[in-house]
Structure 1
Amino acid sequence: MAPGEKITAKIRKNLPIKGPQAPTIKELMKWYCLNTNTHGCRRIVVSRGRLRRSVWLLLTLTAVGLIVWQGALIILTSHDNTVSVQVYFQKLDFPAVTICNINPYKYSTQKALLVDLDTYTMDLLKKLYGFSKTRLKVLQGGNLDTIKKRLRKKFTDFLPLLIFQNNDPSKVATEILTGRRWKIKGDIVQASPTTASLQPHKDMVGFQLCANDDPTSCTIYAFNSGIDAIQEWYKLHFLTIMAQVPLEEKIRMSYSIEEFLVTCFFDGLPCDSRHFTLFHHPEYGNCYTFNSGKEEPVLSTSLGGSEYGLQAILYIDKEEYNPFLVSSYGVKAIVHHQDEYPYIENKWTAIETGKATSIGMHLVKLEKSQQPHNKCTVDGSDVPVMNLFNANYSKEICFHSCFQMQMVEKCHCALSSQPLPPAAKYCNFDQHPQWMKCYYKLHQKFVKEELECQKICKEECGSSEWELNINLAQWPSDVSEKWMLPVLTWDKGLGPNQTLNKRDFANLNIFYKNLFQRINLEKPSTSISDLISNLGGQMGLWLSCSIVCVVEIIEVLLVDVIWVLVRCCWSRQKVRQVWAPSEPPREDEANSPVPIFDDGLPTFNAALRLPLPVSSRPATPPPMYDSLQIEEPHPGLAGDPSGAEEEEDGQKRK
């Protein structure tokens, strides 16, 4: 063994270095296994025999794998939610109730606006089915010849009604009224009719829609039933006409609350028009919300039952119904929260005339857990869509707002059935001749989720819904009809010689069946404390390990191991510098018997820096024996008595 290796081995033996300062990773792992509280690791080191050590190593690795597997399952399932149902019995706020007449506007107030459209529609019916104008009560004004010339230009150029065969190879359609031939530039899309034709007709009725930027991109919407085709065609033109009418004029054309409401009771007490708030819907005209909470405090009820809810008799005035726009008469009602927008077109309940409609309610609240357990929004502030409705956020509001903004961007106009965005105008055929094609194309993309509105809009974290139980009864009865209808006619201010029909009235009763409030509370299946406890239980079960042990493992693997590797690389570089050939030492350094050490503690790295001895001969010179001879005292010390005494003592010893 070389002299340098002997010195290194001696320093290692006398100054053992263990723990985080171990020189190698193997010794560091050995030190950790001997000092950790984790079961299994110590047995890997202290067990005798390779078989035992291999078995303990396999068991320890298996336990670690089980901990990782079970921990991953716990973490993944911690994002799941559970629903708990809570039931309370307490005094409840009565919801807002919005009611609308199915007929949006009084037919007599739209005489000047619809005379052209109605006349054209009657001519279509006469051409198709041989209708006579005396069979329907249609408002007309002015000279018919002048009207026909004006409307032919107005309706035939924008959206004419066509008749064609389903399998016509010539791709040619015929305009119903004028007989003009139209070349079909697109595919025929057969719309789903609400009324199926019982007779197998080869001819179909529809209309052609083309894009603004590409006249060759057209689509034919065909209907098997002429009823659906005419109603859809009439509704498109009706909305276009009404989109150009100012809001104040549309409110005047619709029904007032005094005309709509006959009698009203709430919680056994009479109510009147002051408890109703006007809400104008673009498609259903004037609607009225009871208990809106805007002008008066929100009403509440402390008892359940039909006598403690809203009881109202409504007058629909069926003589003012538009025969082409609506094919049924009655009232639409919706129950909603005071801060919620009433979606009449989606959540409405039909109130029949000549019937007593009783609606029993149960209040159900849903409270969802928030992020990261659920991707919901509290108030919609984190959703990048402008809320066009004067109401609290909901996913349905987000859908309609997103589609309306896309409509303005792609079609350069807004849909008249939705609120108007800033700096936008409603679509009409005068300014946007082909907006309908753009709308249908955009709507198809929305249904196919190509507009990404479904990805942007989030569910609301909290919502309130009312479960409705609807019952119908004959009203008024045959016995009561004889006296009740004259009284109702008198209440409407009509003369004694006039008597209204029971089909002009609707009886509505909305109430809480009971005051039980059900709350569906959604919460995470695993809380933070439960998650930590479950992970700690798995580590304690398989390795008798705790969070502190995990911290030790992280420290050893991420800190100490890296530090050992860095220190080893640095030591090897220093050894190469020490043992590399260098310049011959100077004479004073070569004769120096003491090696030069760095200032500091004698560590293992310092021991590696010891220089080799220059030669095997001892560096200390032999003693000079001549220096032991006794010399004469100094002349200056001859008279010193102490020196004489010392000399005598020395002679005596000899």
Structure 2
Amino acid sequence: MLLKRSPAEWTLLRLCGELLKHTSAHGIPNVFRAAHWCRRLLWAVFVGFALCCALWQCTEMVLNYYRYPSHEKITLVSNTMLAFPAVTICNLNSVRYSSVRKSVTMTKSLQDLGLKQSHRRNKSSCWNTTCPDSPAESDSYPRALRKFASQFNQLSDEEKIAMGHQLEDMLIFCNFHGQMCDTSFFSGFVNYKFGNCYTFNSQKTTDIRGAPISGAALNTTRAGFVYGLHLELFIQQIEYVKDVTHSAGIRLLVHNHAASPFPEDEGVNIPPGTETDIGMMKVLIKRLKSPYGSHCTDGDGIKNFYHDVYGSRYTRESCKRTCAQLSIVENCGCSHWEFAAPPDLQYPKCNLSAVGVSECVELYGYKFAHGMLPCDCPLQCKEELYQLTVSGSQWPSSAFIEKFSSDLREMGGQLSTIADSPQLIRDNLVKVVVYYQQLNSEQIEEEPSVSEIDLISSMGGLVGLWVGFSVCTLVEFFELFVDMLVFFAQRCLWKAVPNTYANPCSERGRASFTGHKTTNM
């Protein structure tokens, strides 16, 4: 039995029915316009199926958008001018032999190191035989080497700088982009492994001793060998410390001027007696911040000792080394000389001769090397890399060495002592050229795979494909929603106001009838 509907309900049904019969959404009007009930049923099933498919695919699109997928876009950028990178050079010998001899403690440590080295070489005869000594003795030379490095790094920075190779003695010739340069173009720092290191174009305003230098940024407007950085260096093999330095030459790194160089892990070795040409190409990497997959950072809120000490910007490597330093400080009670430590850290440098310190430092050094420390060090959002192409040739050549020898005699000092021997010249001198192969740079940029516009466009295409919805269709349903609000508002107002209206004709007729009856009475 059907319930009897009120006129208001019939009006609401009529309001909805008019929209559904004439909506621009394909399929829905056919449910109401079909003459036979079977056709109506088929249309209703099909429209329901299409709506479910559209809803399912739109849900998948939204979920994929909130997974924040990304892709890499590689672009070759042509430039008329490129900023020249910083170039760091370190002598492979960390401390001069003449300076070591002035220190009684380091001389004794060096003698012990020489004995251990000699003992280690004698042990090489035990390759196919059984050695009577314990396995612990095989580690005596590395321990003696670490002890020597520990004693060197216990010194103050001023003492270490004085004991290392001086740029004034090493730099024979410097030319950049066809213009002469000198030591005022170099800043410096002390590395625990290589001693004094010097950086060309670091854009810092002080040198390794704190004296003012030119910090202007250098650019290049031409690519090629002629327009690069030309250096001739005297490595002073006569000052090399035997049993400590096993190879001769310099360590060279090409890096961004705002990043901390780590020559112990990066760079290339340049041997003496050669002209080494290093062609480079700039690669700029840009990553997306969280919530995208790389979760990169600009270093905000992350402790970075290398920024505190050297003023360099955040890198993942500097973060890891800061984390390692903090782990050693917290667990060993000292700061390790391999990592940067700001002056306000207020912890002494680790003395590996102290009881328990060596084992503690070795433990956390092992954890650092194997990535076992709990460090939260995301990638940097902007990173500059330089792809290097290295080639070399004999230098100086046999045809040029006689003229070059006369130039060395005029320079005087230690250079004059090697000027008469072509072999000594090739053993002690290095030439290196660093230049851009081309002014094009490669840019690798991480981009969102799905943007807001892509999401809306794809959802609109799917809904239009399955059920024919468009923006106009949405406006139609919005119009229905507004009409329904108005309808219910009118009903509420109609019920809230009491029916006080009286028909004047009825009142007048009733009064006349009453008066007529009274008169007759």
Same fold (TM over 0.5): yes
Q: Counterparts of 1:495-534 in structure 2 under 5 Å?
A: 499=419, 501=424, 502-534=426-458
Whichever residue aligns with residue 114 of structure 1, its letter is M
Q: Which ranges of structure 2 fall in alignment gaps of 5 or more residues?
A: 206-213, 489-493, 500-512
Q: Counterparts of 1:216-255 in structure 2 under 5 Å?
A: 229=139, 232-255=142-165
Whichever residue aligns with residue 439 of structure 1, its letter is V
Note closer, same or farther for the CA distance 1:399–1:68 as it changes in structure 2 (3 Å cut). Answer: farther
1:200 alignment counterpart: 128
| Contact 2:283–2:444 (CA under 8 A) maintained in structure 1 | yes
Note closer, same or farther for the CA distance 1:493–1:547 as it changes in structure 2 (3 Å cut). Answer: same
Q: Counterparts of 1:121-520 in structure 2 under 5 Å?
A: 121-125=113-117, 127=119, 199-203=127-131, 229=139, 232-295=142-205, 296=214, 297-377=216-296, 379-383=298-302, 387-388=307-308, 389-421=310-342, 422-430=345-353, 432-446=354-368, 449-453=371-375, 456-494=376-414, 499=419, 501=424, 502-520=426-444
Whichever residue aligns with residue 200 of structure 1, its letter is N
| Contact 2:187–2:202 (CA under 8 A) maintained in structure 1 | yes
1:145 alignment counterpart: none
Q: Which has the higher contact order (CA 8 A, sep 6+)?
A: 2
Give the alignment partner of residue 66 of structure 1, picking from 45, 53, 56: 53
Q: Deviations over 1:417-474 (max 9, x none)?
A: 11114222221135x5223332343344445654332xx2222222222211110101
1:16 alignment counterpart: 9
CA–CA distance in 1 between the matches of 2:471 and 2:132?
76
Note closer, same or farther for the CA distance 1:472–1:495 as it changes in structure 2 (3 Å cut). Answer: closer
Identity across matched positions, percent:
26
Note closer, same or farther for the CA distance 1:391–1:56 as it changes in structure 2 (3 Å cut). Answer: same
Pick the structure with more helix per residue: 2
Whichever residue aligns with residue 349 of structure 1, its letter is V
Measured after TM superposition, the shift of residue 265 of structure 1 is 1.4
2:80 alignment counterpart: 90
**SS state of the match for residue 89, structure 1?**
coil
1:38 alignment counterpart: 25
**SS state of the match for residue 59, structure 1?**
helix
When the two structures are aligned, how many residues end up with a matched partner?
480
CA–CA distance in 2 between the matches of 1:251 and 1:334?
20
| Contact 1:475–1:507 (CA under 8 A) maintained in structure 2 | yes
Note the aligned Cα RMSD (angstroms): 4.0
Measured after TM superposition, the shift of residue 113 of structure 1 is 2.9
**SS state of the match for residue 379, structure 1?**
coil
Whichever residue aligns with residue 543 of structure 1, its letter is V
| Contact 1:106–1:253 (CA under 8 A) maintained in structure 2 | yes
| Contact 1:368–1:374 (CA under 8 A) maintained in structure 2 | no
| Contact 1:255–1:286 (CA under 8 A) maintained in structure 2 | yes
Matching of residue 117 in structure 1 with residue 138 in structure 2: no
**SS state of the match for residue 38, structure 1?**
coil
Measured after TM superposition, the shift of residue 52 of structure 1 is 3.2
Note closer, same or farther for the CA distance 1:84–1:302 as it changes in structure 2 (3 Å cut). Answer: same
Length-normalised TM-score, structure 1: 0.64
Whichever residue aligns with residue 9 of structure 2, its letter is P
Q: Which ranges of structure 1 fall in alignment gaps of 5 or more residues?
A: 131-162, 164-195, 209-221, 565-596, 603-622, 632-654
| Contact 1:364–1:464 (CA under 8 A) maintained in structure 2 | yes
Note closer, same or farther for the CA distance 1:427–1:515 as it changes in structure 2 (3 Å cut). Answer: same
Note closer, same or farther for the CA distance 1:81–1:125 as it changes in structure 2 (3 Å cut). Answer: closer
CA–CA distance in 1 between the matches of 2:263 and 2:352?
26
**SS state of the match for residue 515, structure 1?**
coil
Note closer, same or farther for the CA distance 1:72–1:344 as it changes in structure 2 (3 Å cut). Answer: farther
Length-normalised TM-score, structure 2: 0.79
Note closer, same or farther for the CA distance 1:628–1:398 as it changes in structure 2 (3 Å cut). Answer: closer
Measured after TM superposition, the shift of residue 98 of structure 1 is 0.7
| Contact 2:72–2:444 (CA under 8 A) maintained in structure 1 | no
Whichever residue aligns with residue 484 of structure 1, its letter is F
Whichever residue aligns with residue 100 of structure 1, its letter is C
CA–CA distance in 2 between the matches of 1:630 and 1:127?
152
| Contact 1:90–1:517 (CA under 8 A) maintained in structure 2 | no
Measured after TM superposition, the shift of residue 301 of structure 1 is 1.9
CA–CA distance in 2 between the matches of 1:348 and 1:293?
20
Q: Deviations over 1:61-108 (max 9, x none)?
A: 332333234334544266322404132131222211110001111122
| Contact 2:106–2:152 (CA under 8 A) maintained in structure 1 | no
| Contact 1:82–1:525 (CA under 8 A) maintained in structure 2 | no
1:144 alignment counterpart: none
CA–CA distance in 2 between the matches of 1:495 and 1:449?
46
